[in-house]
Amino acid sequence: MCQNCRVCCCRLTVDLTTYDIARIAIIEKKPPVHFVTYCKAAEDDRCAFRALGTWIKLEMRQSRGRCVFYDPKKQLGCFIENSKPALCLIYPFHLGSDGPVLRKNPLCPPERLMLVDKKKMSAEVLKDANWEHERYFEFVDDWNSSAMGNETPDDFVSFAVREMILEKMPLGSVFRKIRRKIKQRFAKR
């Protein structure tokens, strides 16, 4: 949990997934336009998707150099503690290719790292965050392999939300895996 140390992990650039956006919008009852911004991205960024002829990704909106959900008057600083994006939830860890890894230079003062919420840092929470990111990266890959590139960022978000819904349906994840295998085989030809 945020300890309001004022060093501020809230100054970090936070890449969002559609899972993060849905969680915040539903729990906090905030429209995505309040907290999501579209940013240009590098082609090799795992979160980058093609839209409007360029590479874009979803990021947490900032105001005055801090997350829009940071409130210095609140004891914890973050007023979406129960619906944080996965990257914020697992901070000071980050999701590496082999799972969660402690950041080399976390912004938290060393004495604060000793106070990390053990439940938040549990293997179960880290595993869930990793699962969400892996699914989101699949959505991005699927979009990038089939999109023309002139679609809007909103088109991508709609696509990713449909994939999230499909993932939750009985046999939905099986259907998605089969569809991906078929696309991969045709792409090789």
Q: What are phi and psi of 39, to 5 degrees?
A: -125, 150
Q: What is the pLDDT of residues 156-186, one digit of tens each?
A: 999 999 999 988 888 888 888 888 788 777 7
Whole-model pTM: value is: 0.80
Q: Tell me, what's the pLDDT at 1?
A: 47
Q: Using CA atoms, how far apart are residues 72 and 61, in angstroms rounded to an integer?
A: 17
Asked if the model's pLDDT at residue 3 lies above 60, the reply is no
Q: How far apart are CA 19 and CA 169, in angstroms?
A: 16
Answer whether residue 117 shows pLDDT above 80. no
128-162 pLDDT tens trace = 888 898 899 999 999 998 888 899 999 999 999 99
Q: What is the pLDDT of residue 172?
A: 81
The rounded distance, in Å, linking the Cα atoms of 40 and 143 is 17
Residues 73-97 have pLDDT tens digits of 765 577 787 888 888 877 777 766 6
Predicted pLDDT of residue 111: 56
Q: For residue 20, what are the CA distances in angstroms to 15, 30, 59, 139, 161? A: 9, 12, 10, 14, 11
The secondary structure element, H or E, covering residue 162 is helix 153-168
